Structure 1
Amino acid sequence: MELPRIIARRADGGWMLEMEGLAPAYVRRLSEAAECGRALMKAADAPGADQGVQLKVDLGKELNRRIKASTQATVDAHKAQLQAAAELRRTASALKSQDMTGRDIAHILGVSPQRVSQLLTQPATGG
């Protein structure tokens, strides 16, 4: 069963909540929206409200697009960082297999000797 949906839109310094089959409700803070909407839905015996609700924030086409793009950019950056870290571990391991010291590896990679030690003790997975 899909959870009931609440759509929150900015209104008068707060948020107007729209819920199917119920009159709109106003909350001052977005952090109050899900609980307020769920309580109203439970009071109206809306199906599924006792399991929780979905809160969707609608700020208009342009801001919604920008939020989606910035959130995706953050996810992509995190994935790239994980891949870069895995590649750094693999490279440190390859340098170590050439009988290089930790200090030499640190100098080559531009990291501290302590970081080289961490890289060499972590599994070279990912990416």
Structure 2
Amino acid sequence: MDLPKIVAHRTEGGWMLEAEGLAPAYIRRLSEAEDCGHALMKAANAPGADNGIQLTVDLGDELNQRVKAATQATVDAYKAQLQAARELRRTASALKNQGMTGRDIAHVLHISPQRVSQLLAQSVTAEG
């Protein structure tokens, strides 16, 4: 069953919660929206309200797009960081397999010898 939908809009001094078939409700802080919206939907006997609500924050087209883009950029950066860490582990392992010492690997990769030890330990764990 779908959760009841509530849209929060910024107003002067707070937020307006809108749901189909209900009068708008006003709250001071967005952090109150889920609890207030859930209480409103339960009081209105909205189908699915016992399971919660689906809250959407509408800041207008421009800000909605900026929030979406910023959130996506954060996700993309996290994925890139994970990929970079995998590649660094593989590279450290390949250098070790070529007979290089941990200190030499550290120098080549511009990282500390301690980080080399961590990477090599992680690559063994990832393979095993």
Do the two structures share a fold, i.e. TM-score over 0.5? yes
Asked if the contact 1:90/1:124 (under 8 Å) is kept, the reply is no
CA distance in 2, matches of 1:106, 1:8: 51
Gapped regions of structure 1 (runs ≥ 5)? none
Aligned residues with identical type, % of pairs: 76
TM-score where L is the length of structure 2? 0.95
CA distance in 2, matches of 1:86, 1:15: 44
The structure 1 segments of at least 4 consecutive aligned residues displaced by more than 2 Å after TM superposition are 123-126
CA distance in 1, matches of 2:6, 2:26: 12
**Structure whose residues are more often helix by fraction:** 2
CA distance in 1, matches of 2:124, 2:92: 9
Q: Which residue of 2 aligns with 1:120?
A: 120
Deviations 1:21-76 (A, max 9, x none): 11000000000001101101101111111100011000000000000011000000
- Superposed CA RMSD: 1.5
What does 1:1-127 align with in structure 2 at a 5 Å threshold? 1-123=1-123
TM-score where L is the length of structure 1? 0.95
User: How many residue pairs are counted as aligned between the two chains?
Assistant: 126
Note the C-alpha offset of 1:12.
1.5
